[in-house]
Structure 1
Amino acid sequence: MQDANREGRAIWRGAVILTVAALLVKIMSAAYRLPYQNLAGDVGFYVYQQVYPFYAVAVALSGTGFPIVISKFIAEAKNGGGFRKEAQIRRHALIALFILCGLFFCLLFLFATPLTEVMGDERLSSLIRISAFIYLFVPLIAVLRGNFQGENQNMMPTALSQIGEQVARVLLIIGSSWYLFLHHGDPYQFGRAATIGSVAAPAVSLIILLLYFRKEELPSARGADRAYSRIDWHLVKDLLINGCLFSLLALPLVSFQLIDSLTVIPLLNHAHVPDPMEQNGIYDRAYALTQFGMIAAASLTATIVPGLAKLSALRKKREIQRQASLALKISLAFGLAAAAGLAVISKEVNIMLFRNAEGSFSFALVAFTMLTLSLILTASGILEATGRPWLPFLYLMAGVAVKLVGNYLLIPFFSINGAAAATCLATALTAWLNVRCLRRKSLAAALQFRLILKLCAAASGMVLAVLIWKLLIVEWESRLADSRLLATGIALSGALLGGCVFLFLIFILRYFDSADFKRLPMIGRWLNKSPDKESKISE
């Protein structure tokens, strides 16, 4: 039992490291979008967001999808193999990624113009060609991250490389945008500069990972090259299939954003909406913050997969169910808190970040995808780790189909609000299918009704507290309705108040029990050393 708890705490410790790194990355991501949108305007923001999904796919391949799959293969090799098998996985992962990324590069570079014709804006072709170059960094970055995550679940190199890459990206984008603002650049020049900054930043991540790799004391590979000189195409195929599947599953929002990039502008044009590019830029505002609510889920996914893969190989079904159930409880709790919290202060956050309240209703609608996407990420990670990657992929494709149909049905009548509603419906269906599958496969215990009531009570208390807080200063808000400073104060204080109230309520209501706490890093170690304190918590 102690070994199981120790394994569980190692998983959650890795989750904490990646969560902190992801939080810093997302804060910087929101921080650069604020001045970028203010400098480039809604049309300039639209230009960059149209190309962003192609960049985000590369980030999914190198940052989450392939590193998780590689770490899973390495973790399984460490459990039943030796150094040679791990070396074989690294080498074949490089081969698989060079094939895949070379294909992506050629397709985007050579077929940029036909793609932009479908998107309804041929001026985007040069930006798509620029975005193709990021795929040249992906193979080495993904293999190095996967190697560190599989070797003793070391998340620090991944975390630091993500932070370093984002710092470089933010500095390049803001610096170039400020230069263009001073020289009266047009929206497409802003978009081009932002794309170049995003493509160049991974070089920093690669340098950090290589510095860590040089410190690794690997056993001598003499003879290993001879043993594995022949390419195992079956292993390459397995890595490609699993890596591609989980890359899609690791960043599901990109799948829905890609549908928007291909359909929103043509549909807005067909519906004769005034200034469709500006409207699309306003709609894209919500996506800038949606990823905040997915931080915990994305980090949990990256860390639970190697641990669950080991447990699956050892056929420890009971421990898999415990770890998976806790991961779902965490994703559900913090996904709901983030969604409800952002929805209730959506107007103020919109003004704070983007100068006006336009599109606040669609902003509030898209906020609820924080909950559904968090559940999708965690549930698909559990299914992938236990050898069922095709199921969450099929569920995601079902969601993408609903999103596509929803856009065609709703955008002509409700403009960008229709696109937001289609995203909510599509992600809700995908999340429901994934969680339902976990229960049917006995991979996670069903959440008890009393726990759902506790969580709803905590979320309701949080929303009520924020609404009361907003009502207390409603007179100031009415007098200074256009004040960005006031909106900033309400948004930040409301977020802080709501977060504190939610944490207080889930602790008081005991949404997490003592067994859950023992599986978390630091808390679990403290409880194991203090049996008296453990008994007090369980009382």
Structure 2
Amino acid sequence: MSDEKRASHLVWRGAAILTGAALLVKIMSALYRLPYQNFAGDVGFYVYQQVYPFYALAVALGGTGFPIVISKYMAEAGERHSVKVEVQRHALIALMLICGLFFTVLFFFAQPLSAMIGDQHLPQLIRIAASVYLFVPIVALLRGTFQGDKENMLPTALSQIGEQVTRVCFILGLSWYLFLNHGDAYTFGLAATSGSAFAPLVTMIILILFLPRKKQFARELFSRPAAAINWRLVKNLIIAGCLFSILAVPLLLFQLIDSLTVLRLLGKVNLADPRAEKGIYDRAYMLTQFGIIASASLTAAMVPRLAQLTALRKTRDFQMEATLSIKVSLAFGAAAAAGLMTISREVNIMLFRNADGTAAFAIASFTMLTLSIILTASGILEANEKPWVPFYFLAIGACVKGAANYFLVPHFAIVGAALGTCMGTAVAAELCLVYLHRHTLAMRLSWRAVAKLGIAVSVMAASVFLWKKMIHRFTDMLSARPSATVLALSGAVVGGWVFIMILYMIRFLNKHDLKRLPIRRRKRQGEAAARSRKL
């Protein structure tokens, strides 16, 4: 096998491992919230969701952003061991500075932050969430080291899975205990936040176990450096690490804005308990996170391939691959958004026991489409070495979201907050598409492709609506939640089947698109390998 082919094989193998781990972690992250919300109730769910963005930012820094940047610098160092050690030292300094800043702000300013949010019972939870940042420097450094050294993705993947399993078991175990013993909402939130803070310790242990020469690694890392600190490199590491962290979880900015503004703005509405209303609104974020798993996996899988095409300067192939990625992402996002809108009431009852906030739930479903576009466009621009561009667009979208909250929430409560999220993500998605088209990184979809997708989505939504009408008289014999479960699950199956069949019948993906799909490429490579073995 040639060096180029071996490198390509390692890239795809590494992408597959990380994609599989990320998929499993995202599924667990979405699913554990269901029993937790059922145990803790809407107010308990609100308490945890208020501090969750602070924890999620630490996970993004230690799990995605900084490991990517560190691995890039490590890979560029090649076989020069001394250069790799200097990269590790400077990365540790960068991580300690940024994580120390976040820890200091969250831990020592938890009280004024709680006052800003509008709930004086949150300081203890915020301080516990702040403790996660103490683990991030070592975790991110080890992950980046493994990923940059012969592209070893296994330690990162196993540590991500181990951390999430520990976290989920810890949270659900304590929540079950509190449910049986009638714990209050803030005790539930404390239990969930404590589980999230404890899990990174497991991550660190798993990564250290994979380290072959532990004493040598520590001695080289903490011994007196031979040269002065390169503060320019430290600054570049901080900026790039934070940038990639935000791009990895584009919804985080919007969640953070909601945590800081929505509760206080709901106080201007005549509501019995604004905290419960915010908890109801937070239901939508869980489903949105679950709905964009396909797009996130697609993005993770396509970036290595697009980066290779960029390095080889194959502009036309890059453009074709990027256009196909957008096309597939649009199909996934549109189907998920329209499907959830159609069965939003049934899904709400099935998962959360009642139909409260269904209007906001249905509106927030639209973000599955916009976030799918943002994730895919971010992957394309990242592969083209322009990661700043989607970050700027996300920042603009976040500003739109913040302004929309202040204007809409006092008048429309959580429906206004859901509209604000849709508006902010839609602006960011549109800016990403315009940029890709203007800089010829991707072709504009033809009106025929858009029309075909519109037909498929419309037929799918109509078929689900008719299906619900047809079987409603049979499900009426059941109580509310079992009835909603049957309608939601069967509607999802019918809608998915109809959507795929319509896309196939109207040839949404043409023969050139099908040839470029990774599954087809692997099939042809397998057939070629089989023929060569016979020869």
Same fold judged by TM-score > 0.5?
yes
1:143-191 CA distances to partner (integer Å, 9 max, x unpaired)?
A: 3333444455554433332222111111101111111122221110110
Structure 1 residue aligned with 2:509: 512
Give the superposition deviation at 1:7: 7.7
Structure 2 residue aligned with 1:402: 400
Q: Which amino acid aligns with 2:269?
A: A
Residues 357, 8 of structure 1: alpha-carbon distance in 2 compared, 3 angstrom cutoff:
farther
Give the superposition deviation at 1:506: 3.1
CA distance in 1, matches of 2:516, 2:147: 20
Q: Which amino acid aligns with 2:394?
A: L
Structure 2 residue aligned with 1:460: 458
Q: Does 1:118 align with 2:116?
A: yes
Contact kept in structure 2, 1:273 and 1:415, CA below 8 Å: no
Structure 2 residue aligned with 1:66: 66
Give the superposition deviation at 1:96: 1.3
Residues 472, 84 of structure 1: alpha-carbon distance in 2 compared, 3 angstrom cutoff:
farther
Residues 529, 198 of structure 1: alpha-carbon distance in 2 compared, 3 angstrom cutoff:
closer
Coordinate RMSD, CA, aligned: 3.1
Structure 2 residue aligned with 1:535: none
Q: Which amino acid aligns with 1:52?
A: Y
Structure 2 residue aligned with 1:362: 360
CA distance in 1, matches of 2:252, 2:47: 16
Higher alpha-carbon deviation: 318-327 or 394-403:
318-327
Q: Does 1:131 align with 2:126?
A: no
**Mapping of residues 294-373 of structure 1, within 5 Å:** 294-305=292-303, 308-373=306-371
Structure 2 residue aligned with 1:236: 234
Higher alpha-carbon deviation: 9-18 or 375-384:
9-18
Structure 2 residue aligned with 1:32: 32
Give the superposition deviation at 1:337: 1.9
CA distance in 1, matches of 2:350, 2:286: 13
Give the superposition deviation at 1:87: 4.3
Structure 2 residue aligned with 1:524: 521
Residues 530, 181 of structure 1: alpha-carbon distance in 2 compared, 3 angstrom cutoff:
closer
Residues 497, 335 of structure 1: alpha-carbon distance in 2 compared, 3 angstrom cutoff:
same
Contact kept in structure 2, 1:15 and 1:300, CA below 8 Å: no
Residues 349, 222 of structure 1: alpha-carbon distance in 2 compared, 3 angstrom cutoff:
closer
Contact kept in structure 2, 1:67 and 1:142, CA below 8 Å: yes
Contact kept in structure 1, 2:476 and 2:483, CA below 8 Å: no
Structure 1 residue aligned with 2:257: 259
Give the superposition deviation at 1:343: 1.6
Structure 2 residue aligned with 1:537: none
Residues 125, 226 of structure 1: alpha-carbon distance in 2 compared, 3 angstrom cutoff:
closer
Q: Does 1:501 align with 2:495?
A: no
Residues 507, 139 of structure 1: alpha-carbon distance in 2 compared, 3 angstrom cutoff:
farther
Give the superposition deviation at 1:119: 0.3
CA distance in 2, matches of 1:5, 1:321: 22
Structure 2 residue aligned with 1:54: 54
Contact kept in structure 1, 2:30 and 2:289, CA below 8 Å: no
**Mapping of residues 155-174 of structure 1, within 5 Å:** 155-174=153-172
CA distance in 1, matches of 2:491, 2:94: 47
Contact kept in structure 2, 1:36 and 1:45, CA below 8 Å: yes
Quick one: higher RCO (CA 8 Å, sep 6+), 1 or 2?
A: 1
1:10-67 CA distances to partner (integer Å, 9 max, x unpaired)?
A: 7666555444333332332233212211111111111011011101111111222223
Q: Does 1:486 align with 2:483?
A: yes
Contact kept in structure 1, 2:19 and 2:300, CA below 8 Å: no
Contact kept in structure 1, 2:371 and 2:429, CA below 8 Å: yes
Give the superposition deviation at 1:514: 4.7
Q: Give the secondary-structure state (helix, strand or coil) at the position aligned to 1:95.
A: helix
Give the superposition deviation at 1:77: 4.7
Q: 2:179 is matched with which residue: 163, 178, 181?
A: 181
CA distance in 1, matches of 2:486, 2:505: 28
Q: Give the secondary-structure state (helix, strand or coil) at the position aligned to 1:321.
A: helix
Residues 98, 312 of structure 1: alpha-carbon distance in 2 compared, 3 angstrom cutoff:
farther
Give the superposition deviation at 1:273: 2.4
Give the superposition deviation at 1:518: 4.7
Q: Which amino acid aligns with 2:424?
A: A
Q: Which amino acid aligns with 1:182?
A: L
Residues 41, 3 of structure 1: alpha-carbon distance in 2 compared, 3 angstrom cutoff:
same
Q: Does 1:293 align with 2:295?
A: no
Contact kept in structure 2, 1:118 and 1:262, CA below 8 Å: yes
**Structure 1: segments with no counterpart, 5+ residues:** 532-539
Structure 2 residue aligned with 1:21: 21
CA distance in 1, matches of 2:300, 2:138: 18
Give the superposition deviation at 1:116: 0.5
Contact kept in structure 2, 1:47 and 1:187, CA below 8 Å: yes
Residues 385, 337 of structure 1: alpha-carbon distance in 2 compared, 3 angstrom cutoff:
same
Residues 233, 313 of structure 1: alpha-carbon distance in 2 compared, 3 angstrom cutoff:
farther
Give the superposition deviation at 1:398: 1.0
**Structure 2: segments with no counterpart, 5+ residues:** 529-535
Q: Which amino acid aligns with 1:26?
A: K
Q: Give the secondary-structure state (helix, strand or coil) at the position aligned to 2:460.
A: helix
Contact kept in structure 2, 1:366 and 1:423, CA below 8 Å: yes
CA distance in 1, matches of 2:220, 2:101: 33
TM-score w.r.t. length of structure 1: 0.88
Structure 2 residue aligned with 1:534: none
Q: Does 1:92 align with 2:95?
A: no
CA distance in 2, matches of 1:390, 1:228: 33
Q: Which amino acid aligns with 2:422?
A: C
Q: Give the secondary-structure state (helix, strand or coil) at the position aligned to 2:121.
A: helix
Residues 227, 136 of structure 1: alpha-carbon distance in 2 compared, 3 angstrom cutoff:
closer
Higher alpha-carbon deviation: 493-502 or 504-513:
504-513
Structure 2 residue aligned with 1:211: 209
Residues 452, 74 of structure 1: alpha-carbon distance in 2 compared, 3 angstrom cutoff:
farther
CA distance in 1, matches of 2:224, 2:131: 33
Contact kept in structure 2, 1:8 and 1:519, CA below 8 Å: no
Q: Give the secondary-structure state (helix, strand or coil) at the position aligned to 1:184.
A: coil
Residues 7, 89 of structure 1: alpha-carbon distance in 2 compared, 3 angstrom cutoff:
same
Q: Give the secondary-structure state (helix, strand or coil) at the position aligned to 1:270.
A: coil
1:240-277 CA distances to partner (integer Å, 9 max, x unpaired)?
A: 11111121122111101111111111111122322111
CA distance in 2, matches of 1:435, 1:292: 23
Residues 88, 338 of structure 1: alpha-carbon distance in 2 compared, 3 angstrom cutoff:
farther
Contact kept in structure 1, 2:19 and 2:297, CA below 8 Å: yes
Residues 300, 160 of structure 1: alpha-carbon distance in 2 compared, 3 angstrom cutoff:
farther
Give the superposition deviation at 1:234: 1.8
CA distance in 2, matches of 1:499, 1:82: 52
Give the superposition deviation at 1:522: 4.8
Residues 118, 227 of structure 1: alpha-carbon distance in 2 compared, 3 angstrom cutoff:
closer
CA distance in 1, matches of 2:286, 2:485: 17
Contact kept in structure 2, 1:72 and 1:309, CA below 8 Å: no
